[in-house]
Every structure is written in structure tokens, then in C-alpha cells.
Chains A and B, each alone.
Chain A
């Protein structure tokens, strides 16, 4: 996940634009038959201004959300939670604490509630581990460990080995009521958190007498990518990955974009890989590679990824003017630039797959709305020695495409996961 937001300016614009409907197809004429009911494995995904905080939408940009149902395990005591951010760059369900989530049973070690930490490159979230039955789009997973962010069952302040940078512990900070990690990994940590002695920092903790220290967690008790846990629906298990489909956008952007988060890959008629190009993902790092030929930029980005939780194309090109002020972190070219970059699997050149994708970068300050296919900014300074360069293919890449994220330890029509796949052009 990687996000910039121009919260205040966009919040004002968003409230004025809230009545604008989605691009095309958003309204039905009186002579049309009603649309068919949604397919069992399709969750409606929306890119809008985010959850309402203090009476108005936060004003997020390029954050795509779904509504998810969580239940006290084994009961029909459930709640729908809207504006849960879809993130193909992480694993596990994380919800901002509420009166409902506090009813979910907490994971304990001895007398202590287990705390969970998630690190982002520049930020972190901290909360308790609780268990819920999770349902979305006809799919369900039972007794899933989730993170409840801001949960008062654990100390409010995270230990410095979790994070000492920007906390994302409220809806306003996160830009969402939760984060649904549907990336390539099945757990947030994996075997290292179960077996390493002493326990690794940055994931699971207990805090006896308010003093937090890392603890081990069995793989099955860690936060789980819910997709891998989905049981069969009408005899079909949509449990090997996800497909995101978002509409094409005009260059001027939209207030709202409506698309789909589709569960399973190659499991039903609506999620076939088809002619999408498959990019193998590093099984440890989650990285693919990118090469670029920008005049003022890096030429090789070995630490690249496709990430619905990033709200722009993030790469380095010193020839593109960077914004200042409220749009700092984005590009502000004087005229829209047409660019392209070549996506490669992690194991290039042994694996000879490659595809060049074209995209545009506009001056974000000239755009109004919440969904844009042409915004980006610089990624971190890099040297390809201690700090490998990154091309972050964020949500703008997803508009007008089918983008697949396949789990580790799967094989889909001969392609071994983990992988990303994307339709052409």
C-alpha cells in the first residue's frame, strides 16, 4: 500500500461533486430490463471519496473499496462494514475498531491479548488480533484471525520496533474503514513468525504490564488472506486469487468509478485468465521487475509491483516536474506526458515474458474527482545497490484492464503462483 492524499482540497471538491454518477452505465433507462443479479463471486468495488468522517467524505483519491460482512464466529450476529480498501499489496483483513468489532473474540496468549503490527514503508497500523466469520459476494471464510486497528485491548502506542513513523490507526488516517489484503501471500508473516526464536519484530506482540515484546504465532493463527480460506460455492472454490476490473476513465477523471472485485482465477466463466500476460512474482519478496527508458529516470526497477493499494504510478524521472504544497508527492507536468514501461517477471531473463504498457501522467492539480488513470509521483531515491529501484503500478494501471493476483502455492492453467497477470494493451 502506498498513498498520497490531498485531503482538504479534495474533500471540498468531492462534496460539490458527490451527485455526479459513475462513468457511463451508472443509470438505467426506464425501457431497459433490470440488470441480472450479481454473480456469486463478484463484489461491487467503488472508487470514491472514501468513508464519511466528521460529516463529509475524507476525499481520498484512487482508493478502491468494497463492503464486507463480519460476524461473531458461529453466529448470525453480523455487521456490514463499508469502505474497506482493497489492497493487492498485503495479506489479511484489518478493520478500524468499532463497537461491533469489540464483540469479536480476541486471540490470547496466556492472560494477554495478542497485538498485531503491519508495517508500510513509511507508516504502520497497530491493533489487536480477533476472530471473525467473514463474508463477501456469496463467499465465506470461518473463524478468520483479523486485525482490529486501534483496539483498546492492547496499549494505544505501538512499540518502536513496530513503527515510529506515520500511524494509520483511524479511518481518517487510513482513508478507509479497513484494509482487505488480497495479495499474493496467504498470511501477513508466514513461517518465520511461527518458528523463529526469538520471535521476529514487526508482526505479533503481547504486552504484559503494558510492555510489548514480539511473540511467535502459528501460521494458522496469523492474519489470513481470506481468499485462500474460501470454501466451495455450488461445488466451486474461488480460493486461488482475485481479479480486479475497473472501468476505463476519461482523462479528466471521475468522482466515482464502479467496478468489480472477482474471486477466483479460472474457476468460473467470469474470471478466466484469457490472453492476460502472466508475470511471475518473487516467492519471498513479492516483486516483479520493470524496465524504463525515461530521459531523466532509472532504467531498471527490480523491486516493482502491481498494487491496488497504491494510488498512483510511482517511479523516478527527474524530468517530470514534481508538485509542491498540498499535492506534494505527485507529478505536476506542464502538459500531460505519454509514457510507457516494460513489465517483466521477477525471474527475467530466464523467464522471457515481457509486455510494454503505455500510460499518461497529468498535472494532478488540474484534475477534480476521486478516480484518475493518469496520476503518479516519484518513488524513493534508489541506487540499485543498497536500495533497489521501484516501479509501483498502482490503481491507475487497473482502469480499463483485467488485473489478476494469484496466491502462492497455486497452479492456474499451468502458471505457478504467486503471479500477477494483466490484460493487454
Chain B
């Protein structure tokens, strides 16, 4: 069973809300909607959905790193591979591919990151709008 949201439909957001024990608010911005998940402890996860309810981007920030295996789902192995390719590096791993972008950073008590699917962005939506 796919538990995660990136690239999947809105029902996976429901699973994220349950799995992450989050509170959710939804804002619609025309070509897309933003499901904001407030995790216990203050970390925020924002899931961006197309008008046809497909998750095309996720951003997070806060004192802990959310469960990325959950949120990235089928894309998580590519992120883990990027980290493993850096050997024993503990600096941020990044994926910068034509179909997948993942950027992370931060340190103890302040982490952040973004993951999006360039090919599934609604037309007119720019990467800078994902935050």
C-alpha cells in the first residue's frame, strides 16, 4: 500500500493527516489548493494539490523532520539514494532531476525542505510559489 502523498491523489493526504497525527487546514489558490498539516510540536507540512486532486509538491519546516518515507512515498528511494551517494556525508542531500526536485536543510530544532514534480505542476505555477 502506498502511504505517501507526492504524485498521488488526495486520499493519501487523508492518510498523512492520520499517520502524522496532524491538524489540517485547506486553502484554494485557483489552479491548486494547499493542504496545511500542523504536526505535533510545531512542524508544518504543506501539500500542494492540482485541481484534479493530485499532489505535485510538498514543503516542510519546523523543529523536526517529518516522516519523509511517508510523505515522499514512491519517490523516497531516490532521496535516500542521493543521501547514500554522498557516503558518510551528513550535509543536505538534494535531487535535481527533470521529473523530481528535492531540497533540504537546517540543523537541530530548525529543519526545512521542499519536494516537487516539475512535470506535474499546474500551468502558470512557478517553483517559487511552493514554500
Contacts and interface: CB of A to CB of B under 8 A. Distances in A.
Interface of A: 1-7, 89-91, 118-123, 160-161, 163-166, 168, 173, 175, 181, 183, 185, 188-190, 192-193, 196-203, 214, 282, 284-287, 303, 305, 307, 314, 326, 328-329, 377-383, 385-388, 390, 392
Nearest to B76: A164
Contact of B131 (A119, A123, A386): A386
Interface stretch (B7-15, B29-37, B65-73): B65-73
B90 A120 contact: yes
B50 interface: no
B105 A2 contact: no
A287 B110 contact: yes
A392 B92 CA distance: 11
Contact of B64 (A166, A203, A314): A203
A166 B42 contact: no
Given A165-B80, A328-B85, A328-B89, A185 B127 contact: no
B59 interface: yes
Contacts of B105: 121, 303, 379-380, 382, 387-388, 390
A123 B90 contact: yes
B25 to A, nearest CB: 18
Given A197-B40, A202-B64, A286 B107 contact: yes
B91 A214 contact: no
Contact of A122 (B42, B59, B90, B131): B90
Contacts of A89: 107-108
B128 to A, nearest CB: 5
Interface in B5-26: 20-21
Contacts, number: 189
Q: Which 4 A-B residue pairings sit nearest by Cβ, starting from the closest? A: A200-B41, A380-B92, A202-B64, A386-B114
Nearest to A87: B108
A123 B106 CA distance: 12
B93 A122 contact: yes
Contacts of B96: 381
Best-surrounded residue of A1, A181, A188, A380 (most CB of chain B within 10 A) = A380
Contacts of B63: 189, 192, 200, 202
B100 interface: no
Interface residues of B, number: 48
B91 A4 contact: yes
B125 interface: no
Contacts of B85: 328
13 contacts: A1-B90, A4-B87, A5-B88, A121-B90, A121-B92, A121-B104, A161-B70, A166-B90, A198-B21, A199-B40, A201-B21, A303-B105, A328-B85
A326 B83 CA distance: 14
A183 B80 CA distance: 28
A175 to B, nearest CB: 7
A119 B111 contact: yes
A185 B108 contact: yes
Given A200-B41, A386-B103, A379 B108 contact: no
A201 B108 contact: no
Contact of A3 (B88, B93, B113): B88
A46 to B, nearest CB: 20
Contact of B89 (A122, A181, A183, A188): A122
Contacts of B67: 160-161, 164, 201
B47 to A, nearest CB: 13
Given A163-B65, A287-B110, A383 B103 contact: yes
Contacts of B68: 164-165
Nearest to B109: A286
Contacts of A214: 40
